[in-house]
Homo-oligomer: A and B are copies of this chain.
Amino acid sequence: MDDTEQRILDAALRVFASEGFTGATTRRIAEEANVAEVTLFRKFKSKKNLLKEVLINNRTVFSSMEDLFQLFQNEKDVNLETELRILGKNIAKAMRDKKKDSKRRMFMFMLFEEGRRRPEVSEALSSFLQMNIKPLSEYFDLQIKNGKMRTTNSRSAAITFVSYFVYTSLLREVFGDSFFGEHDEEIERFIDIFTKGILKAEEK
């Protein structure tokens, strides 16, 4: 992969993420990448095509959720609740630490908007989301098999889990940390509800 091309792709990711597809200008992207605007067109033909290439370029990088799961592949005797708590905090940590991730998250967010109008975009988005949900529901299936988790639809459980993290990280992005309190405490509370439910014991 060309260095100049890569720099343009990275810049495009950033600018698309912060301005949206319509709001992003090729001039801004070129500026961000430190190339002449014309170079951008020579390499990528059109703005539309650039978006497509950014998507392809980041397809593997987006699957960060998959990496997080490799942590658990070996450890077998750990408590499920503890494991999820660790997973949740790792996700939160990844979101906090890496500024790159914030850009990616916002880029994804932009894809939601753009996906409503452009089928190729929604397709790319769909396969990315599946990439997050699939390993998680496979993990849940395993836990059910191991008798650590009660029999529920594993995909529904995965969606519930992912919903929370997507939604709250979105809110944190828009409102800063003012909307919630401390990250880890909030996650503790979610995991508590997710694992034990909200009902009183005798009501079940």
Contacts and interface: CB of A to CB of B under 8 A. Distances in A.
A160 B159 CA distance: 12
A189 B80 contact: no
Contact of A204 (B125, B164, B196): B196
A198 B23 contact: no
- Give the size range of A's interface with the partner: 35 or more
A118 to B, nearest CB: 11
A72 interface: no
A102 B101 CA distance: 30
Contacts of A110: 113
Interface of A: 18-20, 22-23, 79-81, 106, 109-110, 112-113, 115-116, 122, 125-126, 129, 140, 147-150, 152-153, 156-157, 159-160, 162-164, 166-168, 170-171, 173-175, 179, 186, 189-190, 192-201, 203-204
